[in-house]
Amino acid sequence: MSLTGFEAITPEQRDEFQQEGILLIRGALTEEHRARLEEAVDRVYADERQAGRLKSDGTLHMLGFLDRDEEFGELLTQPSTFPYIWGLAGWNIYSHHNHLDVTPPSPQEEAPAWGWHQDGYRQNSDPEALVGDPRPMLSLKVAYVLSDLSRTGRGATKVIPGSHLRNTLERTEGDPRGTVEITANPGDAFVFDRRLWHSRSVNRSSVTRKMLFVGYTYRWIRPLDDMPVDKDGAWWANRTPVQKQLLGEATHTANHWGVNWDGYIDEKIPLRHELQTRGLLDRTIPWLR
Ligand SMILES: O=C(O)CCC(=O)C(=O)O
């Protein structure tokens, strides 16, 4: 039976993510789906080259890419990964940030002096007085691997599993202890907690790296990317109510869905409604109540 994206993750999967801060999902995309996404990435890349918007080394790091292709819109609720998103973050979410990355070979490039970071910028300092150590997750990201990263040196993301529970990372010569370069096959995906200490790496191979990243956060956090969607266009019309929620569609970001202050109507929020209809709300998990 094919996946719908509304299959609950197991307690073991949740525990593993909460301990490691990352989960690798092998074969998240079928080869046919991966190839369609790669073709869409190649189209965007050709357009951006035409428009003179690539970096001088041919790198493309495009923020807010989802509305650039029909294929990308569907990724918001990709059945093989979406259960991890709502299962780990809940239903009150949307994609505040997403990026498309094409990284051509750059064998001579210097490694970044220090590329290690947690995502979220001021989310790591502003609430410090309130929330302490560790910081709250607040967002998570799915990374789809479109090119072959099965060997090291191909510009893959480096991570330190378990480091999301540490607010600081000691600066070292070279990579910190515990570093793992994510070697993944085309069609694999990984989900990671934004607090996980991670770094990009240099692509010293002859293979162009192609990746798609889709981040999700709470509806009460402002968007990071500038992605004005054409609400009169076909792309928007083709999105499901849940996908529209995940694109930020709402009149209120706290608890209402387009009415007034007379009461809580969370059940009108499409993702909550969908989970409720399918019996997937779980009172034992605060974000799934
Ligand atoms: O491109 C990469 O591998 C790193 C991505 C990254 O730093 C991020 O998604 O925050």
CATH number at residue 126: 2.60.120.620
State the distance from the centre of ligand 1 to the C-alpha of 103, rounded, in angstroms: 12
Q: For position 268, what pLDDT does the model report?
A: 78
Any idea what the Cα angle at residue 41 is, between residues 40 and 47, rounded to 5°?
90
State the distance from the centre of ligand 1 to the C-alpha of 226, rounded, in angstroms: 18
Q: Which residue is closest in CA terms to ligand 1's atom 1? A: 200
- Residues of the domain holding 212: 11-288
Query: Does residue 130 or residue 5 have the better pLDDT?
Result: 5
Sheet holding 22-25, edge to edge: 22-25, 189-193, 139-145, 209-218, 93-103, 60-63
Q: Which residue is closest in CA terms to ligand 1's atom 10? A: 119
CB of 98 closer than 6 angstroms to any ligand 1 atom? no
Q: Which residue is closest in CA terms to ligand 1's atom 4? A: 200
Lowest mean pLDDT among 128-142, 159-173, 200-214, 223-237: 128-142
CB of 119 closer than 6 angstroms to any ligand 1 atom? yes
Q: For position 258, what pLDDT does the model report?
A: 47
Domain assignment present for 110: yes
Gyration radius of the chain's alpha carbons: 19
Q: How many CB atoms lie within 10 A of CB 235?
A: 17
Q: For position 251, what pLDDT does the model report?
A: 61
State the distance from the centre of ligand 1 to the C-alpha of 272, rounded, in angstroms: 29
d(Cα 22, Cα 192) in Å, to the nearest integer?
A: 4
Q: Which residue is closest in CA terms to ligand 1's atom 5? A: 200
Domain assignment present for 6: no
Q: Give me the chain's average pLDDT, please.
A: 92
State the distance from the centre of ligand 1 to the C-alpha of 99, rounded, in angstroms: 9
Domain assignment present for 278: yes
- Find where tokens 């990352």 sit: 22
Which atom number of ligand 1 is nearest to the Cα of residue 156? 3
pLDDT digits (tens, 9 = 90+) for 140-177: 999 999 999 999 999 999 999 999 999 999 999 899 99
Domain assignment present for 136: yes
pLDDT digits (tens, 9 = 90+) for 3-13: 999 999 999 99
Q: Is the peptide bond before 134 cis (omega within 30 degrees of 0)?
A: yes
Which atom number of ligand 1 is nearest to the Cα of residue 115? 7
How many structural domains are present in the chain?
A: 1
Average pLDDT for 236-250: 95
Q: For position 49, what pLDDT does the model report?
A: 98
- The b/e string for 191-215 (b: 16+ C-beta within 10 A; e otherwise) is bbbbbbbbbbbbbebebbbbbbbbb
Q: For position 261, what pLDDT does the model report?
A: 54
CB of 200 closer than 6 angstroms to any ligand 1 atom? yes
Average pLDDT for 77-96: 97
Residue 266, pLDDT > 80, answer: no
Residue 191, pLDDT > 90, answer: yes
Q: For position 241, what pLDDT does the model report?
A: 95
Which atom number of ligand 1 is nearest to the Cα of residue 198? 7
Domain assignment present for 3: no
Domain assignment present for 122: yes
Domain assignment present for 223: yes
Domain assignment present for 82: yes
Contact 97, 216 (CB under 8 A): no
